[in-house]
Structure 1
Amino acid sequence: MKNWLADALKDDNPAARGRRSDFDLNRDAKLIAHKDKPIRDAAVLVPIVDHVDGPSILLTKRTEHLSKHAGQVSFPGGKIDDTDADAVAAALREAEEEIGLAASHIEVCGFLDTYRTGTGFEIVPVVALVQPGFELVLQETEVDAAFEVPLDFILNRENHRKQSAVWQGARREYYAMPYGDFFIWGATAAMLVNLCEVMEASRHRAPAGLGKVSV
């Protein structure tokens, strides 16, 4: 798994674009108006838990009372503070604050494409391999639940959907990956599509049992 990730996250991976955004699916929508707003730097941790019986992605569901992104599925992460050395430091700090995931269980492997949201966040997705055996402690004011999705599910293109809704008077398209009782969509789903694409491009490195990539 570690070798596969190392290969998939190389800068010369043909599936890597360098930058992605909400605007990729909505070039004519009113989201374009947000391009002139100040950019806020953020980082998220994309935690791949290296289980013996198959890796999974660790995700969170935000609480319903938050003023922004309430109830949404997301990666652990948030704004890069002035006290953070870099995006990696911010992602690790947020993971420990939000869900109690200690850095001692985390090995940073690289980065996905930077992702710009329609709300003005410039997100650095920090991909990490997480060793099992951790105990999560959720920050109850922000995180309602933490759950894992099999990596096989993410790598199966049949689970990637494009949906649309009217937002600020314009129709907006977004990626969605419903999983059980959880609805993964928007920037989180788009970053998972990015992960799928770069891992597809390196699937010759895939460990035995992870060959279920549908193109």
Structure 2
Amino acid sequence: MSSTSTAFTLHDGDLPDGLDLGPVVAVDTETMGLNPHRDRLCLVQLSAGDGRAHLVQIRQTAPMAAAGSVRYAPAPNLARLMADTRVTKLMHFARFDVAVLQHALGITVAPVICTKIAARLVRTFTDRHGLAALCRDLLGVEISKQQQTSDWGADTLTPEQIAYAASDVLHLHALWNRLEPLLEREGRRELAQACFDFLPARGQLDLLGYETPDIFSHRSV
């Protein structure tokens, strides 16, 4: 079942059959927290860069037991798209989203572009690399983060939650179109691509518990 407005389409459980979002799709996720083993994936937002967002509410097959992990209802169309190597997934802070999607869907999410990594490589004159700051500085667009910590596990999302979730993917194509030339100008496009290519493995390392301490860190536990 899907419900539609002028800016978004809300899908229950999975993307519809036959939906084509093009060769580059913006992707974001909303979860119950920051631990993918404990906190379930609730919503996946996607956009083809056409000013519309597709929001998929992810369902679980049963309430999670106290010591168990989340069991998700199948979302084959979404999983197929996220694993399709012909479709580039455009994200902001892809490290988290890739790990969450790989854990929930049992796939490898690739190829990936991360606007946060791109911003950190070229905007070294600032520490403002959040999505809201980048949209403001590079696009002149104000987006609200007010609903970021709201309850995404609710059966029915509020209009404010939906507007917030949609805004997180509607500007990623335009943002990448501004950041990629800066990477080229600064001679860091190939380095950025190497970082992007590593993201599926980085997500898997995080899921295996190598986030703290980082496997690349000299520090021992």
TM-score by length of 2: 0.27
Higher relative contact order (CA 8 A, sep 6+): 1
Structure number with higher strand proportion: 1
More helix as a share of residues? 2
TM-score, normalising length: structure 1: 0.28
